[in-house]
Amino acid sequence: MPALHELSPVPRFFFARIFPWIVVAVGAFALYLGFETLYGGWASNAWPSVPGVVTSAEIEVQRGSGSAAADSYHGRVVYAYEVAGDSLTARRVNFGEYGTGEAEHAEAIISRYPEGAEVVVHYDPGKPRDAVLEPGLHGIPWLYLVLGAPFFLCGLALARFLPRVAANESGSTR
């Protein structure tokens, strides 16, 4: 990639002023998802529970795009439950759910919750539509934080220093 001073004004403006904030936004979004997952997992430990029944359990395959992309397998469980006379359905097994390139992970989930199985549903008393079968933290909720923090911090550093670099380079070449 050419140095900033070798770029025309529009690309220079984009890379010095806009691009860093895109990196910050990506990092902030990942941090938001990470903290939301952590909070939901911790809070779900105190949620009340009701009986429910699994209405559907299947492996969902998300096809990778491109020649080198792999498929991702997810265990999708839908369950029905009732809170205060309202019939509800949900599909979150736990906070930190993830898909993998191996079907065994998804098969393990649906084998724990086969269609027709009676389950214990833990629901958010403030929003009964939010529910889980496995309260607490599971899977990889830390991944969003581990990936988001460097993006966020690097984006802030870029937003602070790239405009100065661009200004110094454009001033030194003229």
pLDDT at 174 over 60: no
Question: Which pairing describes strands 134-137 and 94-95: parallel, antiparallel, or unpaired?
Answer: parallel
CA-to-CA distance for 123 and 133, rounded, in angstroms?
9
Range with lowest mean pLDDT among 43-47, 96-100, 111-115: 96-100
Angle between helix axes 142-172 and 19-44 (nearest 10 degrees) is 160
pLDDT digits (tens, 9 = 90+) for 59-85: 998 887 766 667 889 999 999 999 999
The pair of three-digit structure tokens given for residue 15, joined into one six-digit string: 């890379």
Instruction: Say if residue 50's pLDDT is above 70.
Output: yes
Q: What percent of the chain has pLDDT over 90?
A: 52
Q: In this predicted model, what pLDDT tens digit does every residue of 130-155 receive, in sequence order?
A: 999 999 987 676 788 888 999 999 99
- In this prediction, residues 96-105 reach a mean pLDDT of 81
> What is each CA distance from 69 to 34, 61, 100, 119, in whole angstroms?
24, 13, 12, 35
The confidence band for 12, taking pLDDT boundaries of 50, 70 and 90, is confident
CB burial string 2-15: b at 16+ within 10 A, e below: eebeebeeeebeeb
- Distance, CA of 16 to CA of 1 (rounded, Å): 14
pLDDT digits (tens, 9 = 90+) for 111-131: 999 999 999 999 999 999 999
Q: Where are the beta strands (DSSP E) in 84-132?
A: 86-90, 94-95, 118-124, 127-132
CA distances from 149 to 40, 115, 163 (A): 19, 39, 22
- Strand 94-95 versus strand 72-83 pairing type: unpaired
Average model confidence (pLDDT) for the chain?
87
Task: Name the range with the highest mean pLDDT among 13-27, 37-51, 61-75.
Answer: 37-51
Calculate the alpha carbon distances from 128 to 10, 35, 66, 90, 150 in Å. 50, 21, 40, 10, 35
Report the pLDDT value the prediction gives residue 64, as an integer from 0 to 100: 73
Mean pLDDT value across residues 88-102:
87
Confidence of residue 173 (pLDDT cuts 50, 70, 90): very low
Q: Yes or no: say if 75 and 59 are a contact pair by the CB < 8 Å rule.
A: yes
Res. 23: pLDDT tops 90: yes
